[in-house]
Every structure is written in structure tokens, then in C-alpha cells.
Homo-oligomer: A and B are copies of this chain.
Amino acid sequence: MRKDGIATREKILDGARDLVLKLGYSGMKVDHVLEHVGITKGAFFHHFKTKDELAKALLRRYASEDALIYAETRAQAEKLSDDPLQQILIFIRLFEDMFSEMTEPYPGCLLASYVYELQQFDDETRSLLHETFARWRTLLQEKFTLIIERYPPKNPVSASQLADGFTVVLEGAFILAKAMNDARMATEQLRLYRNYIELLFAAPEQMRAAA
């Protein structure tokens, strides 16, 4: 086995992510990572000065990976329709499809894992969490702003609340999926969320049942 610095660094990050989602950050000990990845202390602390530095790197990596998925899915939705409402509905459905193929519960969201140990982390990490969630909000908020202008909602709602709703449903579904060991939870709850958007903005005349 050849020595490849960036490769082992990636392996550490991947392994640590898996373990954090299973055990929480404090529950994940560095020795666990060493065993899981198949390296030694020397290798680990060569790539990360401290465990907390790994935590930050993990967070940044997850946030950027996730931003990529969001951006790609959004681009895909925008390619399939010019209407902002349809774009959102497609966007949600694409996420449904992502989770529908899974056979076991989604391992969870790293950010949520951090949130429930929030006081463990320093200000930098906390603001990084804040910014990431804020970015997710902004992404969908823009669409919902357009939608609200074009289609009068049946209830008084704000674009930011609807945008947060997506994240809320996802995060909540992840928790219930793990607790109930139900892999379909995320797909089902996203479908309910999509139904809500449909009902909220659909013209009273043309209300039709969704597939």
C-alpha cells in the first residue's frame, strides 16, 4: 500500500463522519477512527492537530458537499421548468427520489448531530453551523419569494418560513427514521411537505390529486 497523504486524509474524514453519525461527536473517540480506518495515531495527528480540528474540517466538508447537492438538484429542477412553483415541486420530488432508493435509514445529518452537542464547540464552529443553515434557507427562500408574488398563497406565509420548512422536515425525518428504523420516513415526510406546497399555492379550480 503506497503512501498517499490526501487519500488517507479523506479516509479519516469519511470514517469519522460515519462514526459521528452513529455515536455523536463526543462518543466518537479517536481510537475508534484509527481502528475503523485502519491507521495509527501517528497518521491521524499528522493530518489533524487536534480532534477539534477534525470536527471543523468535517463540518466544512459536509457543508460544501451538501451545498453541491443542493445546487445540482436546483439546477436540474430549473432545467425541467421555468415556473418557480414547479421548480420547487420538482426539487422536493428529486429529494424524495434520492431517499426512496435507500434500504436502511439515512445515517443522519452531521450538522444536526453537532447541534445537539452545541456547547461543546467554539464560536467559530457554531457560526459555521449557523451560516450553513442560513445558506440553505436563502436558497429556497428566493424561489418562494417569487412563488408568493405570482401565486397568492391560501394562508399568510413568509418565504423564509416555507424555506425553513424543508430543512425542518428533513431533519425531523432523519431523527424519526433512526429511532423507528424506518428507511421510508424521509421520502414520506417530504411528500407531505410537497403536498402542502401544492395545496398552498394551487388555484382553487385546478386542484388535482398528486401522483
Residues of A within 8 A of B (CB): 21-27, 108, 111-113, 115-120, 129-130, 133-134, 154-157, 161-162, 164-165, 167-173, 175-176, 178-181, 185, 188-189, 192, 195-196, 198-200, 204, 207, 209-210
- With A23-B117, A24-B24, A172-B172 as known contacts, state yes or no: A155 contacts B204, CB within 8 Å: no
Count of identical protomers in the assembly: 2
Q: Which residues of B contact A157 (CB under 8 A)?
A: 192, 195
Distance of A180 Cα from B168 Cα, bound (Å): 12
Q: Is the CB of B108 within 8 A of A116?
A: yes
Q: Which residues of B contact A178 (CB under 8 A)?
A: 115-116, 118
The smallest beta-carbon distance between A86 and chain B, in angstroms, is: 17
Our pick among B133, B154, B175 for the contact of A112 (Cβ within 8 Å) is B175
Q: Is the CB of B116 within 8 A of A180?
A: no
Our pick among B26, B172, B175, B176 for the contact of A24 (Cβ within 8 Å) is B26
Our pick among B27, B181, B189, B196 for the contact of A26 (Cβ within 8 Å) is B27
7 other contacts beyond A133-B176, A155-B195, A161-B189, with CB at 8 A cut-off? A24-B27, A130-B179, A130-B180, A154-B207, A155-B198, A161-B192, A162-B192
Q: Which residues of B contact A209 (CB under 8 A)?
A: 154-156
Distance of A112 Cα from B178 Cα, bound (Å): 10
Our pick among B23, B25, B154, B169 for the contact of A169 (Cβ within 8 Å) is B169
Q: Which residues of B contact A170 (CB under 8 A)?
A: 172
Q: Which residues of B contact A115 (CB under 8 A)?
A: 175, 178-179
Q: Is the CB of A165 within 8 A of B192?
A: yes
Our pick among B25, B134, B168, B210 for the contact of A155 (Cβ within 8 Å) is B210
